[in-house]
A = this chain, B = another copy of it.
Amino acid sequence: MIIHFPVKTPTAKIEEIAKSLEAIVLKDADKFALITGSSVKKLPEEVAKLATESFVFDSDIQLASKKYTSSVREIQIGKTVIGGKSNNTLLIAGPCSVESEEQITQSSELLKELGLTALRAGCFKPRTSPYSFQGMGIDGLKLLDKMRKNYGYTIVTEVRDATQVKDVIDYADVIQIGAKSMYDHGILKACAKTQKPVLIKRGFGTTVQEFIQCAEFVLSGGNPNVILCERGIRTFETKTRFTLDLCSVAWLKEYTNLPVILDPSHAMGYAYGVADLARACTAMGVDGLLIEVHPNPAVAKSDASQQLNHDEFRGLVKSLKPVAKAVGRTIV
């Protein structure tokens, strides 16, 4: 349950109520909002008297629910916005990992050529084997910082675990929480304390319910700028790396107020299918795309098979624009 109280209610009173209801307190310029578990369906009379408004929910999807806020949140990403009434589809592109200054500069030049503004690349890689490339770490973050300074880009990069969350929050414009880190309370709580946009990727074994509840950790901790990212779930089918779940995207669009970005590269796992899927995602009318592109995919240190080369990416961008237009959207 979410309960609103006038902003002038004495803080001590709010705290007393919050304690009695085991509720989390959020405050903004207009009101206090108390959030209890969704099993609370009715307020004690003396509390009800003080409240201005209250919202009952079927599940712990509360702050993220369209029942609470019926329109999609507008989120500022660098100089552009997504969500709200923007009809923007933000194309975030770049290599899987920062590998060298030369490589990330080539990626930056490609974005410049195509008029794009959001650069993605990982520095702390959540690899599943200790014997693979683990990312450039803090040196990678510094290279991304340089690209931002040189090109004015919005930097989207991933936090792997709670030990480097502060560094990533400092260096990134959009903090990406990866599919394998999505349940990490250390990360979620740190991200709740900043106001930078947080892009949460759905775990490949995660239900939509749990996915949004992870967003609720950030939202209820005080950061309203959460973006959801579907990147494929693990199913019995193994010809592709994962299975992009567009049915769930339709659900997210119907029932939540969070912008949705799609990552066809990780879902497919193979470059040949990325363009078709990216067009499908665009036609869904989503708020953004994450696409992996590398100057030379064959020698990429991670995810080599799924990264587009520069020419493939140029072709893709060209083909996305009319699809976006057909559904009333603009690729930015």
Contact = CB atoms under 8 A, between A and B. Distances in A.
A78 interface: no
Given A208-B239, A243-B235, A247-B242, A130 B221 contact: yes
A251 B243 contact: no
A102 interface: no
Contacts of A205: 203-206, 233-234, 236
Given A245-B243, A273-B254, A322-B326, A126 B185 contact: yes
Contacts of A239: 207-209, 248, 251
B247 A131 contact: no
A233 B237 contact: yes
Nearest to A162: B162
Interface in A166-205: 180-181, 183-187, 203-205
Interface in A259-287: 267-268, 272-273, 276-277, 279-285
Contacts of A60: 129-132
Given A35-B131, A36-B131, A236-B205, A244 B246 contact: yes
A167 to B, nearest CB: 13
Contacts of A214: 128
A248 B276 CA distance: 11
A269 to B, nearest CB: 8
A55 interface: no
Q: How many copies does the complex hold?
A: 4
A220 B250 CA distance: 39
A156 interface: no
A235 B280 CA distance: 20
A67 interface: no
Contact of A243 (B62, B180, B233): B233
A276 B272 contact: no
B216 A129 contact: yes
A174 B108 CA distance: 47
Interface of A: 24, 35-38, 60, 62, 124, 126, 128-132, 160-163, 180-181, 183-187, 203-210, 213-214, 216-217, 220-221, 232-251, 253-254, 267-268, 272-273, 276-277, 279-285, 319, 322-323, 325-327
Given A207-B238, A233-B243, A247-B277, 13 more contacts: A38-B131, A124-B185, A129-B216, A130-B216, A186-B186, A203-B205, A240-B248, A240-B250, A242-B247, A243-B243, A246-B246, A280-B281, A319-B327
Top 6 A-B pairs, shortest CB-CB distance? A205-B205, A250-B273, A161-B186, A283-B283, A240-B247, A322-B326
